[in-house]
Amino acid sequence: DSGVTQTPKHLITATGQRVTLRCSPRSGDLSVYWYQQSLDQGLQFLIQYYNGEERAKGNILERFSAQQFPDLHSELNLSSLELGDSALYFCASSLRQGAGTGELFFGEGSRLTVL
């Protein structure tokens, strides 16, 4: 158990809809990262927050947005969903701002299926 909690674990929805994925980081961790893993792809970095502020952006679509709340949990909002958005979405947390030298603690992921 990494200590990172993601909900929901599975989500099936239709094209054009909007969903929200939630992540609670490990106790004490200030950084939250969101990654997307599509079929046969590596984990693609979407966005990072540190203590409530956006710190880095990766290949995140304009239809997607995220935020980190004062209690440090984070939500990833996906709107106008397309079939290609079907993927496993991972949240990870770390104590420090940087991901490079410190290990990230990953949640179990939220599997999104868009029909």
Partner 1 sequence: DQQVKQNSPSLSVQEGRISILNCDYTNSMFDYFLWYKKYPAEGPTFLISISSIKDKNEDGRFTVFLNKSAKHLSLHIVPSQPGDSAVYFCAASAPAGANNLFFGTGTRLTVIP
State the DSSP string of 9-35: SEEEE-TT--EEEEEEPPTT--EEEEE
Q: How far is the CB of 101 from partner 1 (least distance, A)?
A: 5
Structure tokens, 87: 């993927």
Stretch binding partner 1 (CB under 8 A), from 13-21, 54-62, 67-75, 76-84: 54-62
Examine residue 19 and tell whether it contacts partner 1 (CB under 8 A). Answer: no
Cα dist. 99→30, 37, 89, 95 in Å?
12, 18, 17, 9
CB atoms within 10 A of CB 101: 7
Beta carbon nearer to partner 1, 17 or 41 = 41
Check: CB of residue 17 under 8 Å from CB of residue 75.
no
Among 40, 53, 62, 71, which residue interacts with partner 1 (rule: CB under 8 A)? 40
Contact residues for 27 (Cβ-Cβ < 8 A; gap 6+): 3
Number of residues that bind partner 1 (CB under 8 A): 30
Stretch binding partner 1 (CB under 8 A), from 12-20, 69-77, 79-87, 95-103: 95-103
Q: Of residues 55-74, which lie at the interface with partner 1 (CB under 8 A)? A: 55-56, 58
Q: How far is the CB of 16 from partner 1 (least distance, A)?
A: 29
